[in-house]
Amino acid sequence: MKAATTTPSWLHTSVGRKVIMAATGLFLITFLIVHLAGNLLLLRGDGGAAFNAYAEFMSTNPAIRILEIALFAGFILHIYQGLYFILRERKSRPQGYALNAANANSSIFSRTMRLSAVVVLVFLVVHLRHFFVEHRVLGSPLTMYESCKAAFENPYYSAFYVVSMVLLAFHLAHGFYSGLQTLGLIMNSRIERIVKWIGAGLAFAIPLGFAIIPMYFLLKTF
């Protein structure tokens, strides 16, 4: 008798896995936009009042807590599927590339997708450890604003954020277009042009918005 499976079999095909990566990737981009909007409250110059109120709301509202579970599930699925494709490609090419794989038809953003993925993943681990774990798990005595201020006044920590945001820009520059393409939403050349413009705008504006925050705190120390 055939063993019962818990997930539909198409999800384990390459197409299914790519659809999961695309859907979770686009979901994560919407998270980044909301996260950035909240974090920009750090720049209000009110000593952190608005940001602390926002952080308090985000950590106590029951609907947000449920969304947070979906968010972590989205990250885990996205990373898991990405690792699957990287490892599968490695297996099928054990000797590695004899020549640089760059070709005239692929952009620098698509060619560096794995590098940008790894840097963003390392960033995420450090980031979650510093803010999420420190506050939600270890119960830091600092307010969220004080935590951000103390972190970003350290030039090494701020530099790490800014460099990570450059790599996030690379990741988004290819990821947004690629996700919509995988989902079959780029149906003609007009839509393709629009998607490329929106993708470029997001890849520029989101990381820039995040990078401004550590630079703001660092510059204030001079």
Which of 52, 81, 71 lies closest to 147, judged by CA? 52
Residue 59 is a binding residue for ligand HEM (CB under 6 A): yes
Cα atoms in the 13 Å half-sphere on the side-chain side of 72: 8
Residue of 20, 149, 161, 172 that binds ligand HEM (CB under 6 A): 161
Among 27, 84, 85, 131, binds ligand HEM (CB under 6 A): 131
CB of 93 to ligand HEM, least distance (A): 29
Of 44, 93, 136, 220, the one binding ligand HEM (CB under 6 A) is 136
Nearer Cβ to ligand HEM (134/192)? 134
Q: Which is nearer to ligand HEM, 19 or 172 (CB)?
A: 172
Angle between helices 113-127 and 62-92 (to 10 degrees): 140
Near ligand HEM by CB under 6 A: residue from 19, 21, 22, 55? 55
Helix spans in 93-188 (H) = 108-111, 113-127, 144-152, 155-182
Of the ranges 82-90, 174-182, 190-198, 210-218, which one interacts with ligand HEM (CB under 6 A)?
Answer: 210-218
Nearest CA among 211, 210, 212, 219 for reference residue 153: 219
Residues in the chain, how many? 222
For the chain, the maximum distance between any two Cα atoms, rounded to a whole number of angstroms, is 71
Binding residue for ligand HEM (CB under 6 A) from 77, 169, 186, 213? Answer: 213
- The stretches of 61-143 forming alpha helices (DSSP H) are 62-92, 108-111, 113-127
Asked whether position 20 contacts ligand HEM by CB under 6 A, the answer is no
> Contact 148/42 with Cβ under 8 angstroms?
yes
- The contact set with ligand HEM (CB under 6 A) reads 32, 35, 39, 55, 58-59, 68, 71, 120, 124, 127-128, 131-132, 135-136, 144, 148, 161, 168, 210, 213-214
